[in-house]
Amino acid sequence: MNFYSAPFWIRAIYPQGLIWGVPTKQREVFLTFDDGPVPEVTPLVLSILKKYNVKATFFCVGENVDKHPEVFDLLLKDGHAIGNHTYHHVKAWKTDINSYLSEVEQCNQLVKSNLFRPPHGQITRKISKILRKEYRIIMWSALSGDYDKKLSKDQCLANAVNNTRPGSVIVFHDSMKARERMEYALPLYIEYCMKNGYTFGKFDSLKMQ
């Protein structure tokens, strides 16, 4: 077991009610992309997904949506799901609760979704209790680690492959930092899944209100 998967003891120290995978016996995985949309990377992800006819879920940073509304529109046009990743990609353990909630609301003005993923994987009991009234909080089954410059491209691929089970939620990034490793690992990961009989699901991001 390594850091890039989310074993039971990691889940146990987090607040209750977070989503670490989708309960299913079907061979279905959920690809997610964090930190976009940015013109240098997001369209590249979209072209890879289109090539394999795969839908995914994008957790968007509000500030990026503000800067690149045309790239955000591409996500919607291609039929992907969208989720809230705060306005400035803030850390819950270092932000007071009211500022954090207004960050989420500021992002919500642009990204209409009932899905939320906390930046840096940081969340507190108090914040999760409040946000769960309005959002499904989507964590992960496995991180590819594509953002980590210390990892090789093949290690990122292996992190995703080795942690793939029915209902796994896999994290990649549409960010400049991750681009090189993501661009290599993503198509190979999709091909691995297809060869092993997996299909790809996206979360339902319709706002419940």
**Residues engaged in binding Zn ion (CB under 5 A):** 34-35, 119
Instruction: Tell me the two tokens of residue 185.
Output: 């690992």
DSSP 95: S
Answer yes or no: are the C-beta atoms of 82 and 58 closer than 8 Å.
yes
Q: Is 154 a catalytic residue?
A: no
CB of 104 to Zn ion, least distance (A): 13
CB of 159 to Zn ion, least distance (A): 17
Q: Is 68 a catalytic residue?
A: no
How far apart CA 191 and CA 146 sit, in angstroms, is: 17
CB of 150 to Zn ion, least distance (A): 18
CB nearer to Zn ion: pick between 84 and 164: 84
How far apart CA 153 and CA 104 sit, in angstroms, is: 32
CB nearer to Zn ion: pick between 173 and 202: 173
68, 80, 85, 173: which is the annotated catalytic residue? 173
Q: Kindly report each contact of residues 8-14 with a partner whose C-beta sits within 8 Å and lies 24 or more positions away, as own/partner.
A: 11/139, 14/123, 14/139
CB of 120 to Zn ion, least distance (A): 7
CB nearer to Zn ion: pick between 119 and 201: 119
> Phi and psi dihedrals of 170, rounded to 5?
-110, 135
DSSP 178: T
How far apart CA 64 and CA 17 sit, in angstroms, is: 28
> Phi and psi dihedrals of 29, rounded to 5?
-115, 155
CB nearer to Zn ion: pick between 83 and 119: 119
Chain position carrying tokens 């959002």: 135
Residue nearest to Zn ion (CB): 34
Residues known to be catalytic = 34, 173
